[in-house]
Structure 1
Amino acid sequence: MADEKYHKNTVSNILQGGAKYLFLFFICLIAFNSNAAEFCNITPLNSQSSPSYLQLNTTSKLQAKRGANQFQLNCLLEHGGVLSFLRPGVDGFTWQQNGVTKQPLKSAQVAFLMDSGSFSAIITIESKLNYTPRFKWQDTKIFFRETQQHNLIMGAFYGLCITLIFYVLIMGHRLHDKIFKLYSAYIFCIGSFILLQEGQLYLFIADHVSSLLFDLYLLSIGLTVLSATWFMCALLELNSSWPKTSKVLKIMASIVMCFCLIKILFNNTLVWQVAGNIMAYGSLTIVTVIFVLSAQQARKGIREASLVFVALSLVLVSMIFRVLLINQSPFMQRYGFILAFAVESFLLAVAVSRRISRMRIAQRRAETEADYDHLCGILNRRGWGKKSAGLIEQHAKKGGVLCLMYIDLDDFKQINDNYGHAVGDEALCKVAASLKSIVRTSDAVGRLGGDEFVVLAHFYTKAQVNPKTHHLKTELNTLTITHNDQPISIKASIGSSVFSEPPKNIDEILKAGDTAMYHEKLQRKVKPLTLVDG
């Protein structure tokens, strides 16, 4: 009895376990069938190629030849989807399904919404050149999400390009440097090239202008190579370091531009093939040579050369994938250029900003030097006029009085004639140093030229004026210099004019001061030992 009971339990356990595993098997089979139910294959009708099975979210490597290409698409989809392919090089396309022409989605790339269920469609592509369409089957939600993300990123890139163009143009206009204009032209060309390649314009315009946009795309390639070559030669100072090499590079860039125009003008297979090879390998050669030269210039210590070297290394890698390793990486084929040029634009923007900073410093230094009298170390006529204009404006806002002291050295010509110009220069420097020590930093002290000096000061009351002018006259008329152990006295006639109302301009101030100084000089001739307050 025990054996019989044990036997029944064993059989029961086996049946229960078998049922469990059988249930799991059917679940797996159903899941497998549900996944296997969705498929898409695409077959070229112009060649004997076998059908290519499209994998979800994976690009196909099918080739399209120049001219008309037909592909038969067979799909069984549970939830529908989107089929997309690259737009550059496409002259026209149609989707025929059940005798009806389906309209494409508004998208940067060519994209069609696919129905759920089983269907067959004929896709016709008119191509201007041999190219890889990169057919891609995607889930509808994933397609729209990735498209929005891509357009957002590209919008940011175009915004960066536009900002750089206007910023550099404005700075170039202010600093009068042609490199900024060349950089603006280069950024405009590369931005246009990527815009036409990525197809964002098709979000706003009709598909029937695709032929015109492709011609503009070819033109943008030539202009990008041309502007980049001119800009790099100027930025890396190749025109002076390697003038012959720079000239050859510019000639090569011009040749690339010419063959771009040839492709636009002539619709011939052989011409297109030859022109395409010259454009591709010519551009790669130019980038490679400039890359090597940027390394040489970086070793020489040329400013910004190291940044250009890093930027060009990225562009060179993307060019290699675009020209030599065409079908090795679809990602690098499409996005390599965009990433490389985005990073390059940033690095070149840093290089240009450094150049702007240096030029601003140099400009300020030049302006400062232009405003100063290098012999005496005080403002010259130009610099004194600038500072005096500020004091006049301050007087107009805050009130008070302005006082001009006009100084002319007495018998200065005799010092030059008797002791030489070196001693005369020493006398001028002595007067300038004395004026700087007497006046305030807010006052404008300068040398108009020769032996004439001026001081313009702002006071809040007239009572402050006379003590200051008297002190200045006393100090200047006690100055001496020594030549061969012999003291030489320095005397000066000082005329002062006080303005309670804001003067109209600098000339009015100088005219009044000059008149007061000559009045002082005449009185000194009559009473040479008397200091007269003007």
Structure 2
Amino acid sequence: MLTAENQCELSLKDLHNTQVETTVLQDQSADVVLAPGSSVLSVTCRLDVPSVFSFRHNSRDFTWRDIRGKSRALVSNRAAYLIPAGEYEGAITITTHENADLRLQLMSYAGFVSSSQKDNLAMGVFYGLCFSLALYVLIIGRNLRDIRFKLYSFYISCAGLFFLVQEGQLNLFFPDIVWIDSWHVSIIFAGFTVFSAVLFITRLLDMHIRWEKFTRYFLIMPAGAVLVMPFLSVMAVNHELSVLIDAVMAFSTLIIVAIVFCLVCYAAYLRVHTAGIVFFALLLVLVAMVFRVLLTETNPFLYHYGLILSFAIESFLFAIATSERIKRINENRIAAEDEAGKDVLCDVMNRRGWSAKAEQVLKLQADKGGYLCLLFIDLDRFKRVNDLHGHQVGDEVLKVTAKIIANGSRETDVVGRLGGDEFVALAHFMKLDECKMMDNRITQRLTDFAVRTSVGEITVNASVGSQIFEQSPASVSEMLRAADGAMYKQKKSSAGAHKILAD
């Protein structure tokens, strides 16, 4: 018979008839250790005021039975029952698939509501983070057509759903759906989380390319097995087999995380892009997994919240890593485009690259007005240089010519080599005088200029055809034809003469 007020006496008996007794006081908590299998927890209370008896029931199936007095189940992410004032007696049958600490709390109704609101708010922020990151990365990565972004979104979504089921927030919206609280539903989402994480990380760091066979046999296939195990657990013929499958899944997951962590360490050592970020993120998850699987009774807080906290940080770090990946992809794409549009010999644009940039300059003049100045440059008697001194010397002359044109132009001007000994320079000015200044400057520098080559100094001259456009030409081709014509007129004219043809 209870003599103290506002407390509950607890008596736990498991399958082996091991009995443990403890007491939980008002606004305090008490811990009991559950062995795998079914246990019966007897609850005997004497209360001055109605109070809430609660515990976290994730990964545990339970039934509550009133023996004396009538309790009322509350809608909460926890198993929570409002116990009436006076004497009460009830029994809870709990089935768990692992050794686990069960923290039982006895709180006033107002205290319980306040605590639940804070917990749900914190978890709501966490879920918002997960699904916002998943959607954000999916949207920004859609046009890049890179599977890494889809895998990141898939992984974060699976993990978010896993925690949503495990933490019981779905009970707030669907309190009458029993399967939402099922341990099997929780581990099914856990399996998807492990599988999607392995796919994402191996793709992010290109492990499937660097270590193809090892990744396939020691990561992808084991992760696939972990994905299947929850379904095997559901179909297990007895509870003991289900518990065994769940234990194998837990340790397999820990081993997979350890293998991935080791590979990421090696990738970081090799200075693989973003491997350092992934290393730190996985380190946090690995520590949390150790507390979750091996050190289950060491620290109840880390056992329950460690994985959530580590995943929240990991989500941010993986988002950063994915962002860096996007940046690298864009840089590689731009570099590839630049490389495709670049003349390797002269370090200026080739015809393809120059034409693309020239289109942009045409649009700029159409929008802002002003003048376009196009110089078409052709080396005089360049074939003779090749015939007398060889193509190596000819290449040296081309390089110097390109450098003179580039140095005589602004950074915003478009300089290119169309092929052979033909060069072009296109500039946009707001004043006509600026066009004439650029024309004169480059023409003077290309008139009988000396080139130091491997066979000595050679004097070279270039014919420069200039065309100024006050109105935007219809196309780049039309613009080139006009400047080409001006260049040939210049080449045919007397030495030193240079005619500017205004459009």
Same fold (TM over 0.5): yes
**Partner residue, 1:378:** 348
Does the C-alpha gap of structure 1 residues 305 and 38 become closer, same or farther in structure 2, counting only changes over 3 Å?
same
- Post-superposition Cα deviations, 1:289-342, rounded to whole Å, max 9, x if no partner, equal 333444455455555545444433433333233223334433233212112222
Q: Quote how far apart the aligned CAs of 1:467 are.
A: 5.3
The partner residue of 2:413 within 430, 440, 443 is 443
1:427 aligned partner? 397
Q: CA deviation at 1:477?
A: 3.5
Residue 27 of structure 1 is matched in structure 2 by: none
Q: 1:130, CA displacement in angstroms?
A: 6.2
Are 1:398 and 2:406 counterparts?
A: no
Aligned to 2:174: 205
Quick check: 1:532 aligned with 2:499? yes
| CA distance in 1: counterparts of 2:258 and 2:408, whole angstroms | 64
Counterparts of 2:298 and 2:165 in 1: how far apart (Å)? Answer: 23
Q: Bigger shift: 105-114 or 365-374? A: 365-374
Counterpart CA distance in 2 for 1:455 and 1:500 is 17
8 Å Cα contact 2:65-2:90 kept in structure 1: yes
Deviation digits for residues 143-181 of structure 1 (CA, Å, limit 9, x no counterpart): 222222222221222222223323443554566654444
Work out which of the residue numbers 115, 129, 143 in structure 2 matches 1:146: 115
* Secondary structure, aligned partner of 1:201: helix
Residue among 116, 120, 132 paired with 1:163: 132
Residue number in structure 2 paired with 1:251: 221
Question: Mean Cα displacement is larger for which, 86-95 or 195-204?
Answer: 86-95
The one-letter code matched in structure 1 to 2:373 is C
Instruction: Report how far residue 64 of structure 1 moved.
Output: 7.6
SS of residue in 2 equivalent to 1:61: strand
- Quick one: distance in 2 between partners of 1:303 and 1:203? 43
Rounded Cα–Cα distance in structure 2 between residues aligned with 1:136 and 1:225: 32
Contact kept, 8 Å, 2:448 with 2:459, in 1: the verdict is: no
Checking the alignment, whether the CA contact within 8 Å between 1:37 and 1:77 is kept in structure 2 is yes
Unaligned runs of 5+ in 2: none
Alignment of 1:306-455 (within 5 A): 306-455=276-425
- Match 1:106 to one of 71, 75, 87: 75
Which of 225, 242, 246 is equivalent to 2:194? Answer: 225
Equivalent of residue 495 in structure 1, options 437, 456, 465: 465
Larger radius of gyration: 1
Q: Which has the higher strand share?
A: 2
How many Å separate the matches in 1 of 2:237 and 2:105?
29
Residues 346-385 of structure 1 show CA distances to partners (whole Å, capped at 9, x for unaligned) of: 4444444454555555555444444433322323334434
Query: Is the deviation greater in 353-362 or in 216-225?
Result: 353-362
> 3-state DSSP class of the match of 1:58?
strand
Partner of 2:155: 186
Q: What residue number does 1:41 align with?
A: 9
Using the alignment, how far apart are the partners of 2:328 and 2:83 within structure 1? 58
1:55-94 equivalences in 2 (<5 Å): 55-56=25-26, 57-61=28-32, 63=34, 71-90=41-60, 93-94=63-64
Cα distance in structure 1, aligned partners of 2:407 and 2:295? 74
Distance in structure 2 (CA, Å) of the matches to 1:363 and 1:313: 32
Query: Which residue is 2:105 aligned to?
Result: 136
How far is 1:413 from its partner? 3.2
How far did 1:95 drift? 5.0
Report the CA distance between 1:279 and its aligned residue.
0.3
Tell whether the 8 Å contact from 2:346 to 2:399 is kept in structure 1 after alignment.
Answer: yes
Percent sequence identity is 36
Cα RMSD after superposing both structures? 3.6
CA 1:470/1:60 → structure 2, altered by over 3 Å: closer, same or farther? closer
SS at match of 2:198: helix
How far 1:135 moved relative to its partner? 3.3
8 Å Cα contact 2:467/2:500 also seen in 1 = no
CA contact (8 A) 1:91 1:210 kept: no
Say how many residue pairs are matched.
Answer: 494
Q: Give the SS at the match of 1:84.
A: strand
Partner of 1:18: none
> Residue type of the partner of 1:227?
S
| Change in CA separation of 1:432 and 1:130 when aligned onto 2, cut-off 3 Å | closer
Letter in 1 for 2:499: V
Task: Pick which of 290-299 and 371-380 moved more.
Answer: 290-299
Q: CA deviation at 1:37?
A: 1.3
Q: 1:35 & 1:394 partners in 2: Cα distance?
A: 90
Deviates more, 1:478-487 or 1:135-144: 478-487
Change (3 A) 1:426 1:112: same
- Distance across 2 between alignment mates of 1:50 and 1:163: 45
- Residue aligned with 1:53, SS: strand
Q: Take 2:117 and 2:302, find their aligned partners in 1: how far apart are those partners? A: 20
1:68-96: CA deviation from partner (whole Å, max 9, x where unpaired): x7654321112222112223345564554
Cα deviation per residue 1:19-38 (whole Å; 9 max; x = unaligned)?
xxxxxxxxxxxxxxx99311
Higher helix share: 1
Separation in structure 1 between the aligned mates of residue 151 and residue 111 of structure 2, nearest angstrom: 41
Instruction: Name the aligned partner's letter for residue 40 of structure 1.
Output: C
1:41/1:75 contact within 8 Å kept = yes
CA deviation after TM superposition for structure 1 residue 260, in Å? 1.7
Helix, strand or coil at the partner of 1:36: coil
The 8 Å contact of residues 92 and 210 in structure 1, kept in 2 or not, is answered as: no
- What is the Cα deviation at residue 472 of structure 1? 3.7
Distance 2:385 2:3 in 1: 107
Task: Give, as a single letter, the amino acid of the residue that structure 2 aligns with 1:446.
Answer: G
Please identify, of 209-218 and 396-405, the stretch whose mean Cα deviation from structure 2 is larger: 209-218
Q: For residue 23 of structure 1, what is the aligned residue in structure 2? A: none
Q: CA deviation at 1:254?
A: 1.7
1:197 is aligned with what amino acid?
Q
Q: Does residue 264 of structure 1 match 2:234?
A: yes
Structure 1: gaps (5+ residues): 1-33
Aligned 8 A contact 1:307 1:347 in 2: yes
Please state how far the C-alpha of 1:248 moved relative to its aligned partner: 1.6
Partner secondary structure for residue 73 of structure 2 = coil
Q: Distance in 2 between matches of 1:479 and 1:446?
A: 20
Please give the secondary structure, in 2, of the residue aligned with 1:135: strand
Stretch of structure 1 that moved more, 462-471 or 137-146: 462-471
Distance 2:266 2:436 in 1: 67
Q: Is the 8 A contact 1:39 1:77 kept in 2?
A: yes
Match of 1:25 in 2: none
Q: Return the alpha-carbon distance in structure 2 between the equivalents of residues 276 and 98 of structure 1.
A: 37
AA in 2 matched with 1:388? A
Instruction: Give the Cα separation in 2 of the matches to 1:202 and 1:448.
Output: 70
CA contact (8 A) 1:196 1:214 kept: no
